[in-house]
Amino acid sequence: MRGRKPTPTALKVIHGNPGKRPLNRREPRPGVAVPTCPAHLNPSAKAEWKRVARQMVLLGMITELDRAVLASYCQAYGRWVEAERKLKETPMVIRLASGVIQQSPWLAIANKQVELMQRFAAELGLSPVSRTRVAVRPIGPKPWEDTRGEYTGLLAGVPPDVEAYLSGRYKP
């Protein structure tokens, strides 16, 4: 694919569709679900899967379709952890039999895995910068859909706390 990455329709709507191009009304919207953790992941990767998947579900940021990208991120994380452990056991610079000094191969592996993790984290919305580009749907009842009574908030003279709801701080 050439050119810039397309902007998701939800973000175009939030920004007011600055390009005024037609919106994709048929963009797929898969439901929030935790994909199954692949069996081939190493133990560190599986632990990272559980940690990240739990948070992504709470934020409504993950679907079954995200399994491969999340698995790739977690496997890169697991390999990075393993390379860092090996780096603690071995020197950063090694001398070959020919007398040539070379950096440890574990350092190259660790650096490559960090690079891969950053790419996958950006795709999943796991980095601080990429999170600013993600909009999540709040979970729970909306303040104006209070189940205590149809007019509870209106009769008491209390306007619905929409800002608290949208920021996730609303507690019914």
> What's the pLDDT tens digit per position in 136-168?
655 555 555 555 555 554 444 444 555 565 556
Q: Please check whether residue 3 lies inside any domain of the structure.
A: no
Tell me, yes or no, whether 83 and 157 share the same domain: no
| Helix extents (H) in 90-170 | 105-124, 128-131, 152-155, 162-167
- Which DSSP symbol is given to 99? S
Same domain, 83 and 144: no
Q: Is residue 15 part of a domain?
A: yes
State the pTM of this model: 0.66
Range of the domain at 51: 9-137
Nearest-5° Cα angle at 34, 56 to 109: 70
* Segment 17-75, tens digit of pLDDT: 778 888 877 777 778 888 999 999 999 999 999 999 988 888 778 888 899 999 999 99
Domain match, 58 and 115 both: yes
- Distance separating alpha carbons of residues 90 and 158, to the nearest angstrom: 65
Number of domains in the chain: 2
144 and 94: one domain? Answer: no
Same domain, 144 and 117: no
Per the domain annotation, does 4 fall within a domain?
no
Domain check: are 130 and 172 in the same one?
A: no
Task: Please check whether residues 53 and 77 belong to one and the same domain.
Answer: yes
